[in-house]
Amino acid sequence: MTKNEKERGLISSVFHTIGDVISTFLFDYLFDDPNRKGVMRFSFPARTFHWVVVVLIALLGLTGLILFVPGWGAASIAGWTRIVHRICVYISAVVLVLYFISYRQSCLAYLKEAFSWTKADFGWVRAAVDYYLGGDESKMPPQGHINPGQKIWELITIVCGVLFVITGAIMTFAKGVVAPAVFQWSLLIHDIAFIIGSAMLIVHIVLGAIHPRMNESLRSMITGKISVKYAKSHYGKWYEEIAEKQS
């Protein structure tokens, strides 16, 4: 293969993927048949909450990045990035509290899910690298409602969220009140949470929305449903539980 063909291959595969993601969004959002057979994976409130959080995180990330990267400071003329950043924090807090009050059971289930680890989960983590690189699917132990990779992501969202809130509150309300070292540590921890959270967000997007083995995943975050075949192969334990309840 010549160099040009290789480059064309890479570029077309990147654009192909972007095209796939956009068309999944548009097609499933606009034309999905609500009576299509399948298993309900994410409720309408959970999906709405997910996409509202995505928009807020995107705005927080962008404005945070402008504050964080030294060379980008010029983009924050008249401090607008700081203002938008803070407004998004307050909106996120309201959204989070309202969602928690309205859907307490599912929020508690989310917390329980993230912190419940079994021996089988560690077996999944060991087999996962081979699986995501195209290895034998039958080697993967059957999973519950979410797999351990998704549990790690849930944990990251909780830990980074708590760190952002504590350190952000110190930087906003306690400047000059706390010791300078505490202020500096808050800044550093806020930045580290941002770096870890962003790196894991990229993994989440790649494995959640783009990876060919998770080909019904994005669809489930748009329409709520996955096919029975996908539920059996990806979340076998969970599928058995719901099938038992229905019988």
Residue with smaller CB distance to ligand HEM, 91 or 178: 91
**91 belongs to the binding site for ligand HEM (CB under 6 A):** no
**88 belongs to the binding site for ligand HEM (CB under 6 A):** no
**157 belongs to the binding site for ligand HEM (CB under 6 A):** yes
Residue with smaller CB distance to ligand HEM, 153 or 239: 153
Tokens of 193: 């949470």
Smallest gap from residue 30 Cβ to ligand HEM (A): 18
Which window, 8-16, 28-36, 78-86, 150-158, contacts ligand HEM (CB under 6 A)? 150-158
User: How many angstroms separate the CA atoms of 183 and 108, rounded?
Assistant: 32
Query: Applying CB under 6 A, which of residues 28, 32, 154, 191 lies at the interface with ligand HEM?
Result: 154
Amino acid in the structure at residue 122: F
**208 belongs to the binding site for ligand HEM (CB under 6 A):** yes
**86 belongs to the binding site for ligand HEM (CB under 6 A):** no
Residue with smaller CB distance to ligand HEM, 55 or 174: 55
Smallest gap from residue 16 Cβ to ligand HEM (A): 17
Answer whether 239's CB lies under 8 Å from 231's CB. yes
**220 belongs to the binding site for ligand HEM (CB under 6 A):** yes
Query: Applying CB under 6 A, which of residues 6, 8, 16, 50 lies at the interface with ligand HEM?
Result: 50
**39 belongs to the binding site for ligand HEM (CB under 6 A):** no
**57 belongs to the binding site for ligand HEM (CB under 6 A):** yes
In angstroms, how far is CA 243 from the centroid of its own chain? 27
**47 belongs to the binding site for ligand HEM (CB under 6 A):** no
**217 belongs to the binding site for ligand HEM (CB under 6 A):** yes
Written in H, E and C, the secondary structure of the chain is: CCHHHHHHHHHHHHHHHHHHHHHHHHHHHHHCCCCCCCEECCCHHHHHHHHHHHHHHHHHHHHHHHHHCHHHHHHCHHHHHHHHHHHHHHHHHHHHHHHHHHCHHHHHHHHHHHHCCCHHHHHHHHHHHHHHCCCCHHHCCCCCCCCHHHHHHHHHHHHHHHHHHHHHHHHHHCCCCCCHHHHHHHHHHHHHHHHHHHHHHHHHHHHHHHCHHHCCHHHHHHHCEECHHHHHHHCHHHHHHHHHHHC
**124 belongs to the binding site for ligand HEM (CB under 6 A):** no
**140 belongs to the binding site for ligand HEM (CB under 6 A):** no
Positions that interact with ligand HEM (CB under 6 A): 50, 53-54, 57, 146, 150, 153-154, 157, 201, 204-205, 208-209, 214, 217-218, 220-221
